[in-house]
Amino acid sequence: MTLQREKRKYSWGMVVDVDKCTGCQACVLACQAENNVPLNLQDRFERARVMSWIRVERYWEGEFPDIKARFIPIMCQHCENAPCEPVCPVFATYHNNEGLNVQVYNRCVGTRYCANGCPYIVRFFNYWEPVWPEAFRNHLNPDVTVRSRGIMEKCSFCIQRIRRGVRNAERENRDVVDGEIQTACTQACPTDALVFGNFMDEDSKVSKMKKDDRHYTLLPHLETDPNVVYLAKIDTDKSAGESHG
Amino acid sequence: MQQRRTIDQIHTNRVLLNGQLDTPKWWAPTVITLGIIVAIGFFMIGIMVNKGLGVTGLSRPVYWGLFITTFVFWVGISHAGIMISAILRLSQAEWRRPVTRAAELLTVFSLLTALMFPLMHAGRPWRIIYYILPYDFARGIMPNVRSPLIWDPVAISTYLTGSTLFLYIALLPDLGNLRDRTTGWQNALYTILSLGWRGNPRQWKLQTVGGILLSALMLPIFVSVHSIVSWDFAVTPAVEGWHSTIFAPYFVIGAVHSGVSAVVTMMALMRWLWKWEDFIRPEHFDALARLLIVVATGWLAFTFLELIFAVYGLDAPELALRELQIFQWPWNILFITFVITGYIIPVGMWLQKSVRNNIALMFWSSLFVNIGMWLERFLIIVPGLARRTPFVYTWESYRPSGLEWFILFWSLAWVTFLMLLFSRFFPLVPLFEQKESETFSDSIKIGRVKVPAIVREAD
Amino acid sequence: MKLSRREFLALGAKATAGTMIFAACGLPERELIVQSPIDMPEDLVRGEDAWYATTWPDMPGGDGLIVRVMQGRAKKIAGNPDHPVNLGKQSARHDAAIQLTYHPDRISEPMLRQSKGGLYDPISWQRAEQLLQSAVEAGKDNLSVVTNPLGGHLEWVAINFAALNGGRHIKYDPTEQGVMQDAIKFVYDQEDPPYYDISNAKTILSVGADWLSTWQSSVGYSVRYGDFRSKGERGYLIHAESRMSMTAANADLWLPVMPGYEGHLAMSIAHVIVDERLTGSGEISRFFNQIPTASLVGFRPEDVEERVGVSAERIRKAARHFAENRPSLAFAGGSAGGHTNGQFNIAATHALNTLVGAVGSDGGVKYNPLPTLDGLSGRCSGDSFSDWEVELAQWRGGNVQTVIIRGADIVHGMPNSVDVVGALVGVPTVIGFGSVMNDTLANCDLILPEKTFLETWGTTIPDPAPGYEVVTIQQPVIGDTELFGGGGLISDARGFGDELLRLADGGLGADDMEELVNISIDQLYDLNRGSVSAPDKRLFKQGVLQRGGWWDTQATAETPSDHAPPNVFDLDSTVNYSSTDGLGAGNDFHLVPFLSNSLYEGRLSATPFAVQNPDPMSSAAWTTWAEINAQEAEHLGIREGDVLFIKSEHGEIEALAYPTPGGRPGVIGVPIGLGHEYGGRYDEGLGANVFKILAPRVEAASGSLAWAATRVRVERSGRKRELPKFEGEVTAFPVEPGVPVLVVAPGESAHDAEVANHHKYQQNFLLPDKSEATEEGSGGGH
Ligand SMILES: Nc1nc2c(c(=O)[nH]1)N[C@H]1C(S)=C(S)[C@@H](COP(=O)(O)OP(=O)(O)OC[C@H]3O[C@@H](n4cnc5c(=O)[nH]c(N)nc54)[C@H](O)[C@@H]3O)O[C@H]1N2
Ligand code: SF4
Ligand code: SF4
Ligand code: SF4
Ligand code: SF4
Ligand code: SF4
């Protein structure tokens, strides 16, 4: 059984300040490089099979010249109450004791049911065997499994980095220090729109940011209780109480 | 009350066993043609397993498409058997007798076919058994019983086991009959299969009791199977258009609609192909059409209730989905076709007595129903995925690949192939049922003439 | 104890990883702790990873990088958290760059062409070096060395090698940095670009420069943009650009200026500030010190709105915000400089800084000090287009014997009107260094496989610097890479700098790049100041390598706070209006090419990582698309995926239509970066090269190519293709307010905004009564 939040030592989470995201896509490629996400060849775009554990969605509002573009990075929300988990017939996706929605590639049989269950559309199916030209295999991250075809994958909160960080801390007989563990995307993000940390640590940056008045979660009516918290976009052209976008 | 002529038992035997004892000329070429299509289909499935699901048209939001649609379609068709055999048997509707065997057969073969779809459609089909069967107690890793994908195989395999037993029990007297009429290897085969059937009173009693018991047992399974299939969708709160509380009865009644229609199609074919005009008669079509009018109308009510419940909430993604489903090209064409072929044309036709008694028209109207019912499943499954969330950025359409269409086509050929193959070795119309109905038959007086008539529902 | 170079690197690496962690814990004093020899990261077989600090001289900005290396393979590139320019952050380009080293089509050995236009034969390095030597000897006094803008030691070597052999070094830069440099010189009398203190500004007015995506030090700027948005009161960004670029998309106020009228817009903003007395009289008089008061006449917003293409109301709004919410900062570049009046556009915008007292103050413009080391500059500008035309004429005329090219894809990057291939034919020996094939290498007589930045020594001087002196060190983080399963090296490459130094035979004071870098590190040690202090040279070098460079936060430049801008109208007044090239009637569109967010000008087009990274605005990849205003497209019957002919007087290209609600009517935006005739397996023949159809107009003052001053005709070809893009089939307007991007007013809480959205949403369905009843329920608009 998954530990209740209160009983955990670490409960990993992310805070995304939508107001700071510029849409630069640095997080997208950093994640791809870190996690051996397969190359998205041209047909993957044409057939809507792009795999991108984190994606930056761009929404429009209004019409020229009063047009606004809004960027929002979306990755697995690591829901405490994840709709993807109960539907998986083989427990290939489950919740661990640090608040992560974990994907066990080895068990996955590729029903894609979890992907239908995920309201955030952050699960990606390997329709083809990911092929890395011989030379590119040099830069594959040895800490991360290279997936085969027919299975599901998604943002893992860079679990390999979490493991390394926790192990180092344990070896030195201390707790993980806030900021010590960075996911590839938070490490890359130039504006610090993405911040990663431990929600159990009251003094961590994420815990403090979560208290911001602007905090909200995606699709709260589904009660998924995500571990990714967003801070709303600020628009100076908007007045309070007026509806927007 | 229908007029008909009296059929003696010798004639019954000769005509109904013509498939086995005197194979029609069209049989071999048809079976070979179908066999080729079936072989190509298996080859296509092989390609898909070998190369990966990239060969389909599935994409990121549309993870399920033609295959799951067709899976639901065949599970729906499978509801014919129990509807005809069990329910009508328990309610003592005598006109069911000549069609029970074929209906049960359709159940068994369509279930077998349906089961193949989720298997071949998995990313790593070769691992499914390995992971889903609860064999690995050592590591304590059991299948996830919260997942409808575990309930599905449980329900379907129970249904399949029950139906097969049911079919077999009903087949015993006819197997004995065949054993007595064949020589050589056929005789040997039928000897084994007939399990020593001698037709003594004790055997008849057991056979009848077994049939009735199984009928009663199968009824809850019948309801559960399509309910469970519907829960594959209904338990998914994230997908607008799937997450609906009326799905279970809606799917069950839809399944009856399509299943019984498929039986009508099949009856027409049997009458034409084996020239069983004496056994499969207009009054059978008439009775099924009346039943279908009720079923179809009930089903239509659910269809519209589902839409109304959905739209009532004025939930933006739900509205966007319904807008797509009903008004946008090409979904609008599919939607209109579905309503017209699934209800308006067939029910409109069945309301005419002349149609109900016209085999050709019944054949075509029942085909229409199943085109409509396939589209219904497609329209439930795919648009919901294509356009279901507030993340407009991810909305994508679905274009099934040629391979998917072929495998859909293959499944039709495969079921027909199995049926024809079966018909070569076993009678499609149960001889004993036919004879029993002769025994129960009544005669009525029309003017001065006394004519034999079928025993209709206890009146 | 004498450490081998390998041991040395390993030491540096371990400590850098340590630095990362300890920087985060606020324990910088532990940075320089030397590892015990027992715990040497030499034992890589255990799977210990090492992060080495280095940099990539080919990208402007001079970002400090760290590279994760395991078992001799580079695994991941990330920003160096210690480095003052990018503070640990990176762009998508940095991650993609790793694939330049491990490219499956990396040039593996020297190749010689038998005749012009002929086939290539592989040759040995020994033979290649002989040929190189004789070509340089033959080209004595008739030699050109061509590179991209590099800065640092590599550029120093190229310049001095050319000089040593009586030749020229000429730089190719596809963008307008030359115009920038002239404009900065003109306005501030500075050689080096200034530092824009974005972090501390409260209002930024940027014109033309897509500084969050590709312009100058975009990663460094983005880091500071993060501060600008979140440090204290939230900053306000006004961005004027004719295309909705990534920066425009992030602006609070976008001024969709007509191409070429950026300077007019700036003057009009000045007009409002002066007219409405939005600033102190001191600032106004300083502004008019050199600019005649009369020059603002005729720049009332209402007078210019038509030609500038921005409503008077918007101009006034921008001016008021800019003047009233200080510190304010104005800068320009990018497409604003890509016009025949580019310098005027940039200078006029920069002049606004004086009006708001931004020169020399926090949150304003700060001058950068001169480079620390003699001869090592960071100037990332190239030679101008006019200079290039002269140079190419020399080549064509047979006046140049030998050309050595490195990093500059001039065949790809010059318009059709200049026949670069023809010019190359006129040169007896053209030698190209490179790691993956491109259009220029394919026209060389001798192709030499070049080591990538992960395999060589060097330095970069950030350009612009972050306000103080910085020297970034580049070190080889990996050695040669063996092919899997034997069969030799991925590439038997040599460093460009190393080869030139070898040819110079001691004439440049060092035998290889490492020695040159060592000399500079020793010079830095002798300065006895800055970020690394160590008791001896060896430890100093170690410290510099660990941190990825050397910087001195105290070594700033004096910025005069009483700066008065020169009269921008001094610039030839005829150029105050941009002249755009066209065929007259029918050339309805103004072509605005733009640097690709991940390919830059194409230097990453060989890497699939970059080619497949979705564009921020269109989400397209693997193709060249044309951004066109959605309504305009509808009017013209153009739909997404239509193959369009984009025709100028100088040629035509094909691009896939991408109608976008964010497009400025009359403007068509086309990304730069693809359209290589020759390349690796991923980019060869992919997309279209928009450079080719540019009109050969030049910026009046600097002679740079006016790359945003071409008018084109757009025609449908009748063909259609699926536009490879990430966004789905529906233009992404939210289906309900606030989902998924919740927008709040300043000071408004997310909860309040959600409730308001919820009410508004219900009202849309004419259910006013229900909105009362559900006051309690909040949630995401349900
Ligand atoms: N010094 C020392 N040497 C030993 C031993 C020892 O105790 N000490 N033990 C010996 C013993 S008992 C053994 S069994 C051997 C083991 O020696 P090896 O068989 O070499 O075992 P591994 O290195 O664990 O795995 C081999 C490779 O298989 C890859 N691999 C993992 N999963 C798959 C898969 O699904 N498909 C494919 N194709 N590859 C996969 C891994 O990435 C790895 O590169 O070592 C022997 N050698
Ligand atoms: S975001 Fe999707 S994949 Fe991630 S935990 Fe939630 S439901 Fe599962
Ligand atoms: S695709 Fe894999 S993880 Fe998802 S439900 Fe199926 S088996 Fe489980
Ligand atoms: S946390 Fe790691 S896995 Fe998840 S999106 Fe970021 S980089 Fe990718
Ligand atoms: S790296 Fe940061 S700023 Fe860039 S797109 Fe990702 S979240 Fe946004
Ligand atoms: S050895 Fe590893 S993969 Fe295998 S059961 Fe144990 S933990 Fe799981």
Nearest CA to ligand 2 atom 7: A118
**Residue C595 clears pLDDT 90, i.e. is over it:** yes
pLDDT score of C486:
76
What are the tokens at B454? 């079928």
**Residue B137 clears pLDDT 50, i.e. is over it:** yes
d(CA B422, CA B428) in angstroms, rounded, equals 8
Could you tell me if the CB of A183 is within 6 A of ligand 2?
no
Residue B368, SS3 per DSSP: helix
**Which residues, in sequence order, are CB contacts of C695 under 8 Å at separation 6+?**
C415, C417, C580, C581, C648, C649, C650, C706, C709, C710
The sign of the CA dihedral C670, C676, C677, C682 is negative
* % residues pLDDT > 90 (chain B): 57
pLDDT score of C736:
87
ipTM of the complex: 0.86
Min distance C616 CA to chain B CA atoms (Å): 13
Query: Which residue stretches of A50-204 are H helix?
Result: 84-87, 113-117, 159-171, 184-188
Tokens 């580019």, located at residue:
C342
Pocket test for ligand 2, best of A55, A77, A88 (most atoms within 8 A of CB): A77
User: To the nearest 5 percent, what fractions of chain B are helix, strand and coil?
Assistant: 75, 0, 25
Residue B236 Cα, ligand 3 centroid: separation in angstroms? 14
Do A235 and C744 count as a contact with CB atoms less than 8 A apart? yes
The rounded Cα A220 to chain-centroid distance in angstroms is: 17
Could you tell me if the CB of A56 is within 6 A of ligand 5?
yes
Instruction: Find the helix or strand (DSSP H, E) in which B86 lies.
Output: none
Q: Which of A120, A15, A235, A244 is nearest to C249 (CA)?
A: A235
Give the residue, C279 or B86, on which the prediction is more confident: C279
**Residue B141 clears pLDDT 80, i.e. is over it:** no
Q: Which of C25, C76, C234 sits opposite A34 (nearest CB)?
A: C76
**Residue C28 clears pLDDT 80, i.e. is over it:** no
In angstroms, the Cα distances linking B150 to A86, B128, B146, B297 are: 11, 11, 8, 32
* % residues pLDDT > 70 (chain C): 90
Strand locations in B55-171 (E): none
pLDDT score of C768:
47
Ligand 2 closest atom vs CA A78: 5
Span C390-413, pLDDT tens digits? 999 999 999 999 999 999 999 999
d(CA C319, CA C308) in angstroms, rounded, equals 15
Q: Is the CB of residue A187 less than 8 Å away from at least one CB of chain C? A: yes
**Which residues, in sequence order, are CB contacts of B205 under 8 Å at separation 6+?**
none
d(CA C650, CA C416) in angstroms, rounded, equals 6
d(CA C105, CA C96) in angstroms, rounded, equals 15
Give the residue, B335 or C377, on which the prediction is more confident: B335
**pLDDT-derived band at C12, boundaries 50, 70, 90:** very low
Residues C65-90: what's their mean pLDDT?
94
d(CA C506, CA C97) in angstroms, rounded, equals 32
Span B383-403, pLDDT tens digits? 999 988 889 999 999 999 999
Q: Is the CB of residue C348 less than 8 Å away from at least one CB of chain A? A: no
Q: Report the range out of B442-446, B450-454, C12-16, C215-219 with the highest average pLDDT.
A: C215-219
pLDDT score of B133:
75
**Number of cross-chain residue pairs from A and C with Cβ atoms under 8 Å apart:** 312
Do C734 and B395 count as a contact with CB atoms less than 8 A apart? no
**Residue C45 clears pLDDT 70, i.e. is over it:** no
- Ligand nearest the Cα atom of residue B130: 3
- Ligand nearest the Cα atom of residue A137: 1
Per-domain residue ranges of chain B: 9-454
Min distance B61 CA to chain C CA atoms (Å): 9
Nearest CA to ligand 3 atom 2: A108
Find the range with the poorest average confidence among C26-40, C74-88, C260-274, C277-291. C26-40
pLDDT score of A12:
96
User: What domains lie within chain A, and their CATH numbers?
Assistant: 7-231 (3.30.70.20)
d(CA C358, CA C329) in angstroms, rounded, equals 6
Q: Is the CB of residue C729 less than 8 Å away from at least one CB of chain B? A: yes
Find the range with the poorest average confidence among B130-139, B240-249, C691-700. B130-139
Instruction: Find the helix or strand (DSSP H, E) in which A153 lies.
Output: strand A152-153
Ligand 5 closest atom vs CA A185: 1
* % residues pLDDT > 90 (chain C): 77
Within 6 A (CB) of ligand 4 lie: A 31, 34-35, 53-54, 75, 155-158, 183-185
Within 6 A (CB) of ligand 3 lie: A 87-88, 90, 92-93, 108-114, 152
Pair C14, C41: CB distance under 8 Å: yes
User: Which chains lie within 8 Å of chain C at 3 or more CB pairs, if any?
Assistant: A, B
Pair C151, C461: CB distance under 8 Å: yes
Residue B4, SS3 per DSSP: coil
**Number of cross-chain residue pairs from A and B with Cβ atoms under 8 Å apart:** 133
Query: Which residue stretches of B133-246 are H helix?
Result: 148-181, 184-193, 201-234
**Residue C584 clears pLDDT 90, i.e. is over it:** no
Q: Which residues of C touch B397 (CB under 8 A)?
A: 729
Q: What is the DSSP string of B373-411?
A: HHHHHHHHHHHHHHT-SS-GGG-------HHHHHHHHHH
Output phi, psi for A17, to 5 deg.
Answer: -90, 100
Q: Is the CB of residue B390 less than 8 Å away from at least one CB of chain C? A: yes
**Residue C470 clears pLDDT 90, i.e. is over it:** yes
Q: Which residues of C touch B396 (CB under 8 A)?
A: 728-729
Pocket test for ligand 3, best of A103, A114, A153 (most atoms within 8 A of CB): A114
Interface mutation vs chain A, best among B48, B59, B150, most A CBs within 10 Å: B59
Q: Which residues of A touch B (CB under 8 A)?
A: 47-50, 55, 57-59, 74, 83, 86-91, 107-113, 115-121, 124-129, 148-152, 219, 222
Nearest CA to ligand 4 atom 8: A31
Q: Report the range out of C243-252, C284-293, C692-701 with the highest average pLDDT.
A: C243-252
Pair C624, C670: CB distance under 8 Å: yes
Span B287-332, pLDDT tens digits? 889 999 999 999 999 999 988 888 888 888 888 889 899 998 899 9
d(CA C24, CA C18) in angstroms, rounded, equals 10
User: To the nearest 5 percent, what fractions of chain C are helix, strand and coil?
Assistant: 35, 20, 45
pLDDT score of B350:
95
pLDDT tens digits for chain A (245 residues)? 467 788 899 999 999 999 999 999 999 999 999 999 999 999 999 999 999 999 999 999 999 999 999 999 999 999 999 999 999 999 899 999 899 999 999 889 999 999 999 999 999 999 999 988 889 999 999 889 889 999 999 999 999 999 989 988 998 999 999 999 999 999 999 999 999 999 999 999 999 999 999 999 999 999 999 999 999 999 999 888 776 65
**Which residues, in sequence order, are CB contacts of C388 under 8 Å at separation 6+?**
C170, C172, C410, C414, C418
Q: Which of C453, C565, C547 is nearest to C96 (CA)?
A: C453
Residues 208-227 of A with CB under 8 A from C: 213-216, 218-221
Amino acid (one-letter) located at C415: P
The pTM (predicted TM-score) of the whole model is: 0.88
Angle between helices B100-120 and B27-51 (to 10 degrees): 20
What are the tokens at C243? 């295309």
Pocket test for ligand 2, best of A52, A94, A154 (most atoms within 8 A of CB): A154
Architecture of domain B9-454: Up-down Bundle (1.20)
Query: What is the average pLDDT score of chain C?
Result: 89
**Residue B444 clears pLDDT 90, i.e. is over it:** no
Q: Report the range out of B313-317, C141-145, C586-590, C766-770 with the highest average pLDDT.
A: C141-145
Nearest CA to ligand 4 atom 3: A155
User: Which chains lie within 8 Å of chain B at 3 or more CB pairs, if any?
Assistant: A, C
**Residue B8 clears pLDDT 90, i.e. is over it:** no
d(CA B140, CA C342) in angstroms, rounded, equals 72
Q: Which of C605, C514, C607 is nearest to C77 (CA)?
A: C607
Nearest CA to ligand 2 atom 6: A79
d(CA B90, CA B93) in angstroms, rounded, equals 8
What are the tokens at B268? 């027409």
**pLDDT-derived band at B445, boundaries 50, 70, 90:** low
Ligand 2 closest atom vs CA A154: 3
Residue A103 Cα, ligand 6 centroid: separation in angstroms? 14
Q: What is the DSSP string of B250-280?
A: HHHHHHHHHHHHHHHHHHHHHHHHTT-TTTS
**Residue C192 clears pLDDT 90, i.e. is over it:** no
**pLDDT-derived band at B367, boundaries 50, 70, 90:** very high
- Ligand nearest the Cα atom of residue A123: 2
Pair C291, C263: CB distance under 8 Å: no
Residues B227-249: what's their mean pLDDT?
91
Residue A183 Cα, ligand 4 centroid: separation in angstroms? 6
The sign of the CA dihedral C192, C567, C384, C180 is positive
**Residue C593 clears pLDDT 90, i.e. is over it:** yes
Pair C341, C260: CB distance under 8 Å: yes
**Residue B456 clears pLDDT 60, i.e. is over it:** no
Pocket test for ligand 5, best of A19, A21, A53 (most atoms within 8 A of CB): A21
Do C734 and B390 count as a contact with CB atoms less than 8 A apart? yes
Do A139 and C102 count as a contact with CB atoms less than 8 A apart? yes
**pLDDT-derived band at B352, boundaries 50, 70, 90:** very high
Residue A106 Cα, ligand 6 centroid: separation in angstroms? 10
Residues C524-531: what's their mean pLDDT?
94
Residues C527-534: what's their mean pLDDT?
93
pLDDT score of B284:
86
Q: How would you list the strands of the sheet with C328-332, edge to edge?
A: C253-255, C236-240, C203-207, C328-332
Ligand 5 closest atom vs CA C222: 3
Min distance B239 CA to chain A CA atoms (Å): 7
Pair B15, A91: CB distance under 8 Å: no
Pair C52, C13: CB distance under 8 Å: yes
Output phi, psi for B157, to 5 deg.
Answer: -70, -30
The rounded Cα B235 to chain-centroid distance in angstroms is: 24
Residue A73 Cα, ligand 1 centroid: separation in angstroms? 39
Do C75 and A45 count as a contact with CB atoms less than 8 A apart? no
Strand locations in C398-453 (E): 402-406, 429-434, 446-449
Span B171-224, pLDDT tens digits? 999 999 889 888 889 899 999 999 999 989 999 999 989 988 888 888 888 889
Min distance C634 CA to chain B CA atoms (Å): 19
